[in-house]
A and B are shown apart, each in its own frame.
Chain A
Amino acid sequence: MISPAVFTHVVKKLPLGICILDTDFTIRYFNDFFISRLTLNAPAIGSNILDLFPEQARFLKKKLTSAVVLNNSSFSYWEHRPHIFQFNSSRPITGEETLMYQNLEIVPLDIEDDQVKTLCLILQDVTEQASYLQSQKQLAAQLETQYHEQAALLKQLKTTQAQLLHADKMASIGQLAAGMAHEINNPLGFINSNLQSLNDYLNTLVKALTFSEKLIQKTEDSALHRLQQDYFSRAKITFITEDAPELLHESLDGIRRVSRIIQNLKIFSHVDDTHWQLCDLRDIIDSTLTMLSNDLRHNVTLHIEYADDLPLLQCQPIQLNQVLLHILNNAVQAISQKGDIWIQVTVQAEQLHVTIRDNGCGIAPAVLPKVFEPFFTTKAVGQGSGLGLSMAYNVIKQHQGHISLSSEQGQGTTITLDLPLQPKLPVADVDRLTHER
């Protein structure tokens, strides 16, 4: 059997604050924890706890009253009320905390006839726990921020990668085109000049034939005359002299068309050209239309309307050329049988306002918000990279302009471009411009 004195001793030495109060909150007992840790003078037995801690009197009174009236333990948790009593820190040397974090429990101790007679105040030092939890929370918040930063970075990276991929693809196609253009240009040159010479030679030969025919007629030698007539008719000379110039003419025309294609290939090979210059947008549109002429010829009627006196536009012409190519290409592809494309350019407040409208199939409302996203495409695999409009968006952004799209399924699509006449150029480009001037 352990004597009550031992229990008294244990309570005295407990690493918990133990304080026993009357229902009028007079202190009847407190253990060593209170004596050693309180920065106030050691509280005297018999004084009122509310007087000893005036700053917390209201709170303590509420909690103590609740325990008495309700005959039910009441609690206080460090997270809501960290420092009820002003104690010395539990880590005075190393810790950052100057105050002890406390959990408090007020327990009705002696109860007679359902009436609480004494209360026990149990105080726990949870500084360790609190600072651990707080650092954990800080860490969690830090991780959260980092996570969001990285997610944003990743997204940016993906966009950039997509653009690089696209640019890379375009550049290789450009190189190929440039190589081909060069290789084809040479033979094309001599074929062209040879055909010109052949044309001249042919004219001379036809003239010579006509001359000799006339000479034979002048001799009035009927035998010779018949011989010549017979030979000419067997050799279909009349037909040849009529057809040959036509053939040559067609060939020369073909060569001219090949040259033009090669010319456009050369433009296309400069897709990564971001050269800024003052241009007439009409020229850019026209050259784009030339590139598409084959597709446009069959089933599309073009309606072009330019405002009078369009001012010059400070732009990257090759880039705008690409933008228009993608937009017009989409418009052409949206038209399955026969359709119209309207191109209109007007000037509005120092901006060129371009609308390109088609009466093709339109875009489903569900996919409308995604059309400017890289890799988004509704076309069959191999038909489109899904980069066209995203690239267009970025180019127009480069021009400090604005691109927007509206579409109604089955009715058609309208793309609107607003391009400031004088965008503020990136510093590097400004340098280059002034240099060139």
Chain B
Amino acid sequence: MNALLSEAQRDALQELMNISMGQAANALARLIETRITLSIPRIVAATPSEFAALLSQHEENWFTRQSFMGKVNGEALTQLTKEGCEALAVAMDYDVPLSDASRKELVLELANILAGACLTGFSEQLDLATKLSMPTLYVPTVNSGEQVVEYFRWTSTLLLEVEFSVDASLFDSKVIICLEQRSVQTLLASINELLE
């Protein structure tokens, strides 16, 4: 990675994400009354082809996207396994079996909770207020790194990736926070302040 981040910066960002995830997981766990397992967050400087590979798994996964604006701007992509989503429906007080519309509603709600908690957590710690917009379902159409470069305004290479899985279900989820180039600088400046 690591023209972009120094080891100290990477460590700091990872720890901040870790704390955000802890808060997010706790919030979700309170809501659905089930323990949430967290992975160690990954801070990745992804190449376009790695990013494309991630998005190519849309057979098995739902994808949602939400933009966020404020002191830092970007988009949060949430990947949720199709399998296991249904199992959370009852915990989230949805009538099962799910209709097509209510399934989408559930997916968007879960994505919003996870992405929202992640973003709130670390933007609060860094004092970088930002507001998440309404999530929408997203069917990625990019198949290769070249297409990512062509179709996306691929300026940022910084991906913050966290994984949640719900104990006693097949549900697995990943939140990817993509930052605009300028926001990466803002973020790094805040981290540097913290590290002083």
- Chain B residues with CB under 8 Å of A74's CB are 109, 112-113
Give the interface size class of chain B: 20 to 34
Contact among A71, A72, A73, A80 with B102 in the assembled complex (CB-CB below 8 Å): A80
Q: Is B101 a contact partner of A58 (Cβ separation < 8 A)?
A: no
- Chain A residues with CB under 8 Å of B120's CB are 71-72
- Chain B residues with CB under 8 Å of A73's CB are 112, 116, 131-132
Q: Would you give 11 A-B contacts (Cβ < 8 Å), ordered by A?
A: A62-B92, A66-B113, A73-B112, A74-B109, A74-B112, A74-B113, A75-B112, A77-B105, A77-B134, A80-B108, A105-B134
By the criterion of a CB under 8 Å from any partner CB, how many residues of chain A are at the interface? 18
Tell yes or no: A81 within 8 A of B by CB.
yes
Contact among B27, B30, B92, B134 with A72 in the assembled complex (CB-CB below 8 Å): B27
- Chain B residues with CB under 8 Å of A71's CB are 27, 120
- Known pairs A71-B27, A79-B101, A81-B101; A62 contacts B117 (CB<8 A): no
Encoded as 1 (CB less than 8 Å from any A CB) or 0, chain B from 117 to 158 comes to: 100100000000001101110000000000000000000000
**C-alpha spacing A58/B120, complex, angstroms:** 27
- Chain A residues with CB under 8 Å of B108's CB are 75, 77, 80
Interface of A is mostly: mixed
**C-alpha spacing A79/B100, complex, angstroms:** 11
Interface of B is mostly: helix
**C-alpha spacing A73/B68, complex, angstroms:** 12
Q: Is B27 a contact partner of A69 (Cβ separation < 8 A)?
A: yes
- Chain A residues with CB under 8 Å of B28's CB are 70
Tell yes or no: B104 within 8 A of A by CB.
yes
From A65, A74, A77, A80, name the one whose CB has the most chain B CB atoms within 10 angstroms. A80
- Chain A residues with CB under 8 Å of B132's CB are 73
From A66, A81, A105, name the one whose CB has the most chain B CB atoms within 10 angstroms. A66
- Chain A residues with CB under 8 Å of B27's CB are 69-72
Contact among A58, A66, A105 with B109 in the assembled complex (CB-CB below 8 Å): A66
Closest to A124 in B: B134
Q: Is A72 a contact partner of B104 (Cβ separation < 8 A)?
A: no
Tell yes or no: B7 within 8 A of A by CB.
no
Tell yes or no: A103 within 8 A of B by CB.
yes
- Chain B residues with CB under 8 Å of A77's CB are 105, 108, 134, 136
- Chain B residues with CB under 8 Å of A105's CB are 134
Tell yes or no: B31 within 8 A of A by CB.
yes
Q: Is B116 a contact partner of A69 (Cβ separation < 8 A)?
A: no
Encoded as 1 (CB less than 8 Å from any B CB) or 0, chain A from 53 to 95 comes to: 0000010001001100111111111011100000000000000
- Known pairs A69-B31, A74-B109, A80-B104; A62 contacts B116 (CB<8 A): no
- Chain B residues with CB under 8 Å of A103's CB are 134
CB proximity of A273 to chain B, nearest CB, Å = 57
Closest to B136 in A: A77
CB proximity of B98 to chain A, nearest CB, Å = 11
- Chain A residues with CB under 8 Å of B59's CB are none
**C-alpha spacing A71/B123, complex, angstroms:** 14
- Chain B residues with CB under 8 Å of A62's CB are 92-93
CB proximity of A59 to chain B, nearest CB, Å = 9
**C-alpha spacing A76/B136, complex, angstroms:** 10
Closest to B120 in A: A72
For the A-B complex with A72-B116, A73-B112 known, give 9 more contacts whose Cβ atoms are closer than 8 Å: A62-B92, A65-B31, A69-B30, A70-B31, A71-B120, A75-B135, A79-B104, A80-B101, A81-B101
